Amino acid sequence: MNVPDSRLSINQATIKHAPLDEALRVTAEAGVQSIGLWREPVDHVGLDVATRMLADSGLRVTSHCRGGFFTLPDGERRRAALADNRRAIEETAALAAAGAPGSVAVLVLVAGGLPDGSRDLLGARDRVRDAIGELVPDAAAAGVTLAVEPLHPMYAADRAVVSTLAQALDIAGDFDASVVGVAVDTFHIWWDPQVREQIARAGREGRIATYQVCDWRTPLPEDVLLARHQPGAGVIDFASLTGAVIDAGYTGDVEVEIFNADIWARDAATVVGETVEAFARSVSPHLP
């Protein structure tokens, strides 16, 4: 087995069924140095226990996934979503403080889809910007960067009305770059004719809060949410995209985040080992 790349981070979604203790253990035992966490497994043990577990693991934390889902019109459910995002901001700060040196306080935001029965895409997009504006003071106070993640356009109706890196940067551009950045995920943006110029722009504007990698392969599975693969298993040109991210000045860790039922069905330690090897083959050659 390879010595893992020092910049590889295992996003916890890749080993979704592992509870937090197991996720931290198999990641550290593989020699990987960092991990991206998810709220549900953290909530399952409680934030205090989670921060102690993370500190004991010796791992850096590279992101907290995820906030967002704020395309609802004004009302109780929108206020509840904003309150939940504020809790996520606090969690992100606490986890980053507990992680090993080099940890970052980045909360990934998935915008949310159209409200039920709505066709008002422009309105939903406006509400995303408004919601981020409401969260910015809290994020700034907590030292947390909100990472607006454009999702693939096939999720625009039901998952995320933010569909391109340009659009995410336009939203982020209303706010200070230390507080609002973007998530660059190869799966979501590889197809975009503007991808390289928008990655360069994200770098110029100081907005690349996290770089996540996984691959696209056809045919898509029945649930298109689970269409992700290990780097190298599909058609994405990691040389081109990783090169663009590095040229844009990104110096952080690189998360592998995979939603895939076949991968989830396997032993977490095995999956981490496979991820180490896929990353070494398909991503590491393009890192400095």
Closest separation between CB of residue 223 and its own copies, Å? 8
> Which CB, 158 or 174, lies closer to its own copies?
158
- Which CB sits closer to its own copies, 164 or 212? 164
Q: Among all chains, which residue has been given the structure tokens 């895409």?
A: 121
Are 105 and 145 spatial neighbours (Cβ–Cβ below 8 Å)?
yes
Q: Are 208 and 236 in contact (CB under 8 A)?
A: no
DSSP-derived 3-state class of residue 17: coil
Residue 282: CB minimum distance to its own copies, A: 10
Nearer to its own copies, 16 or 159 (CB): 159
Nearer to its own copies, 93 or 227 (CB): 227
Phi and psi at residue 44, to the nearest 5°: -60, -35
Minimum CB distance to its own copies, residue 174 (Å): 15
Say which DSSP state 154 is in.
Answer: G
Q: CA-to-CA distance for 260 and 265, rounded, in angstroms?
A: 9
- Shortest distance, position 52 Cβ to its own copies, whole Å: 40
Looking at beta carbons only, is 30 or 199 nearer to its own copies?
199
Whole-number Å distance between alpha carbons of 25 and 15: 12
Phi, psi of 106 (to 5 degrees): -125, 120
| Residues engaged in binding its own copies (CB under 8 A) | 114, 118-122, 125, 152-154, 156-158, 163-164, 166-167, 170, 190-194, 216-220, 222-224, 234-237, 240
Neighbours of 165 (CB within 10 A): 27
Q: From the CB of 19, what's the least distance to its own copies, in Å? A: 29
